[in-house]
Amino acid sequence: MKRFLTACLLCLGLIGAANAATDAELTKQVNAFVDGWHDDAANTRMAYFDKIAKDGVYIGTDRSELWTRDEFKAWSKKYFDAKSAWTFKATRRNVYASADKSMIWFDELLDTKNMGHAMASGVIRKTAKGFEIVHYQLSVAVPNEVVDQVTGIIAEHEKKAKK
């Protein structure tokens, strides 16, 4: 009986180790996919939009920026045509997944050329063809010490816009 229990514990340990390796491998794959997606934008490759699911959503930093993939592609066309889109470099990314690893979500800290530090989160669907971004939300990282100043500037801007 002791040997049986020892064998069971050993098997469970090996299964746990295999899952840990799979999680590390999935994280590596997701990082490569998202980094490649950001690189597509930085180099104005239209493949950028192919990595967003047909039913995908992109939420930008302006409150008017809630787009489907095709709306986002149409809005972004002028930047990609001008060969001057955005450059996001992840400085930290956390990756999480459902038990079956078909749905993956992540959060990331970004260094950007035009906004400085930013934050984003996303949801990725794993399909037979690979990964696709279902949801991505970008935000500007505002230090707490200056958030009152920033929200004041926004309130003033919105007040002027109503006139």
Distance from CA of residue 45 to its chain's centroid? 18
Answer for the pair 40, 114: CB distance below 8 angstroms, yes or no. no
Question: Rounded to 5 degrees, what are φ and ψ at 72?
Answer: -65, -40
Give the pLDDT confidence score for residue 3 in this predicted structure: 58
The answer to whether residue 148 sits within a structural domain is: no
Give the pLDDT confidence score for residue 163 in this predicted structure: 82
Give the pLDDT confidence score for residue 2 in this predicted structure: 55
Q: Which residues span the domain enclosing 126?
A: 24-142
Give the pLDDT confidence score for residue 10 in this predicted structure: 46
Question: Rounded to 5 degrees, what are φ and ψ at 101?
Answer: 65, 20
* Number of domains into which the chain is organized: 1
The answer to whether residue 161 sits within a structural domain is: no
Residues 94 and 106: their CA atoms lie apart, in Å, by 5
The answer to whether residue 114 sits within a structural domain is: yes
Q: Which residues does 45 contact at the CB level (< 8 Å), separation at least 6?
A: 39
Give the pLDDT confidence score for residue 76 in this predicted structure: 97
Closest among 33, 151, 52, 3 to 93, alpha carbons compared: 33
The answer to whether residue 14 sits within a structural domain is: no
Beta bridge partners of 103: 125
Q: What is the pLDDT along the chain (163 residues), one digit of tens a residue?
A: 555 544 544 444 444 433 444 589 999 999 999 999 999 999 999 999 999 999 999 999 999 999 999 999 999 999 999 999 999 999 999 999 999 999 999 999 999 998 999 999 999 999 999 999 999 999 999 999 999 999 999 999 999 988 8
Length of the chain: 163
The answer to whether residue 116 sits within a structural domain is: yes
Instruction: Report the CATH number at residue 117.
Output: 3.10.450.50
Distance from CA of residue 54 to its chain's centroid? 16
